[in-house]
Amino acid sequence: MATNYDYEEAPANYDETHRQDLGYDPNFVPDSVKSFVGHLYRHIREKNVYEIHQMYEISFQTLSDRLFKDTPWPSVDAVAHYVDNDQVFCLLYREMWFRHLYARLSPTLKQRIDSWDNYCSLFQVVLHRVVNMQLPNQWLWDMVDEFVYQFQSFCQYRAKMKNKSEQEIALLRQYDQAWNVYGVLNYLQAFVEKSNIMQILEQEKEGLEQFTATDGYDYSGGSNVLKVLGYFSMVGLLRVHCLLGDYQTGLKCLLPIDISQQGVYTSVIGSHITTIYHYGFANLMLRRYVEAIREFNKILLYIYKTKQFHQKSPQYEQILKKNEQMYALLAICLSLCPQVKLVEETVNSQLREKYGEKMARMQRYDDEAFAIYDELFSYACPKFITPSAPSFEEPLVNYNQDAYRLQLKLFLYEVKQQQLLSGVRTFLKVYSTISLGKLANYMEVDEPTLRTILLTYKHKTHAVDSDGKIISNADVDFYIDDDMIHVVESKPVKRYGDYFLRQVVKLEGVINDMDRIKLE
């Protein structure tokens, strides 16, 4: 698959002067790169997963920082003969090549299309040939993550039709299969199906399979690539569905993964965060606020405790960004659905620091409040996409914001419907019983209106969970007897059962570790 990186054809958005200054020669291969690809190739052939991981995580980054700060790596044609022209290695190298390009530079349309072709070739190999490799989970996760990211980036790029050149439009029309939404979804789905990952996870529960226990690695001489790609593709599908606005299906795709447990998804921090971020966001849009709060709380605490260990990692910035976004989402959830005991102390103090004042204003439900909901949602939401190709006939406009605007509008609509609930809550906290007439008076509405407000409160605080059951999210609840309101304070119970289970497992781990220590 000889590729011609013909930069002469690059459209206007590629920095011409930049390129000329650096004099990038795609065919020049520095010695350190020769050595890098040579070693990496050998390690992959010998299945030395640890070494592969070190080279992938650390050496690649170091070389990128030192030699390729703002240029691409040498072309695959130039390095091919240092790796026996191995087809699979070349596909893997190109995947890293494009990922580096997207991270440091701005890809041209042609490059986007070429990257899609590369993914197709690489995925075809994994899906249809027997691949005898073991790759680190980090790498396999990055592949899926980057695949979805480039799809999202392409949709955003394609939707900005206004300033597109003739060339670009011609290319877009010609290569209409590139980053086609059907293609993207079907590849992810194919990985899930061909890897049989759903059955593997099911059978693991009955002890008939080993997957999570080995972190997905295959210790019987086989390959982990298809299985783990299948596993991470479930997270990929969740992400794509969130980008499309289909939260229900997204959560369904994630169902085989039990997020109340450690799993392969927690073996890579990027995967852990992406999974919970999208899971929480989807639950927020499904109005399952308590579920979202619980998961955000857990992950934010986890990040707080472990982020110091990732300071040198290339994912560090992303980790911090997602951390901030999830605090914003948590602030939204707690403003819509106040809960007393669901948030850990550390997380709570961080939350107060970042959003304490804003949360107080959000609960006033005035115009300023809506502006803050808007601001936080816009900051924290995924980059929604319009998956359909543009109609090239109509006048060329930018429609890349359409998807986001729709989700925001519907979200604020929901917030508006909950406007009066905050007022009711305040009164219910003060009284143990109060007549409808009196409360209507205090709230300056008539009795029929008050009845509708109370019904709204009940409806909005009693969500329908994934099994169709009704669960109450209300921190303050009530019932009506004819025309008397009786207030019920819900007492949150500490979850001792889970706590003890965790401690039992932890202690066992400590005892096992101690047994392994051989005293000299």
Residue 203 touching another protein (CB under 8 A)? no
Does 181 interact with another protein (rule: CB under 8 A)?
Answer: yes
Residue 40 or residue 197: which is nearer to another protein going by CB? 197
Token pair recorded at residue 115: 């990257």
Question: Minimum CB separation from another protein for residue 295, in Å?
Answer: 17
* By the rule CB under 8 A, 395 interacts with another protein: no
Residue list 221-260, contact with another protein (CB under 8 A): 244-249, 252
The residue (of 135 and 201) whose beta carbon lies closer to another protein is 201
Hunting for tokens 């000329």 — which residue is that?
20
**388 near another protein (CB under 8 A):** yes
Asked if 463 and 333 count as a contact pair (C-beta separation under 8 A), the reply is no
**Site membership for another protein, residue 186 (CB under 8 A):** yes
Residue 434: helix, strand or coil by DSSP? Answer: strand
* 3-state secondary structure at position 233: helix
Of positions 405, 426, 446, 510, contacts another protein by CB under 8 A: 405
* Burial (0-12, 13-18, 19+ Cβ within 10 Å), 393: exposed
407 binds another protein (CB under 8 A): yes
Q: Within 10 A of 483 (CB to CB), how many other CB atoms are there?
A: 11
Q: Among 110, 112, 239, 287, indicate the residue that binds another protein (CB under 8 A).
A: 287
Report the nearest approach of another protein to the CB of residue 284 (Å): 12
Q: Which of 23, 221, 395, 468 is in the footprint of another protein by CB under 8 A? A: 468
Q: Which of 15, 86, 374, 414 binds another protein (CB under 8 A)?
A: 414
Residues contacting another protein: total by CB under 8 A? 60
Spatial CA neighbour of 287 closest among 328, 333, 322: 333
Residue 485, φ and ψ in degrees, nearest 5? -95, 130
Told to check if 428 binds another protein by CB under 8 A, we report no
- 46 versus 483: smaller Cβ distance to another protein: 483
CB 195 within 8 A of CB 226: yes
Q: State the greatest distance between any 2 C-alpha atoms of the chain, in Å, as a whole number.
A: 86
In terms of C-beta density within 10 A (0-12 exposed, 13-18 middle, 19 or more buried), how is residue 442 classed?
middle
Rounded least distance, CB 445 to another protein, Å: 13
Per CB under 8 A, does 477 bind another protein? Answer: yes
User: CB–CB of 72/100 below 8 Å?
Assistant: yes
Nearer to another protein, 42 or 405 (CB): 405
Task: Report the C-alpha gap between 126 and 134 in whole angstroms.
Answer: 12
**Nearest CA among 472, 478, 430 for reference residue 454:** 478
58 lies in the binding site for another protein (CB under 8 A) = no
Q: What are the beta bridge partners of residue 135?
A: none
Choose among 183, 269, 180, 278: nearest CA to 234: 278
Distance CA 6, CA 37 (A): 24
Binding-site member from 44, 225, 453, 476 for another protein (CB under 8 A):
453
Which of these segments, 61-69, 153-161, 268-276, 502-510, binds another protein (CB under 8 A)?
Answer: 502-510
Q: Decide: is 194 part of the binding site for another protein (CB under 8 A).
A: no
Residue 484 CB, nearest approach to another protein (Å): 9
User: How far is the C-alpha of 332 from the C-alpha of 354, rounded, in Å?
Assistant: 12
Residues within the interface to another protein (CB under 8 A): 181-182, 185-186, 189, 244-249, 252, 285-287, 386-388, 402, 405-407, 409-410, 414, 417, 448, 451-456, 458-460, 462, 464, 468, 470, 472, 477, 479-483, 488, 490, 492-498, 501, 504-505, 508
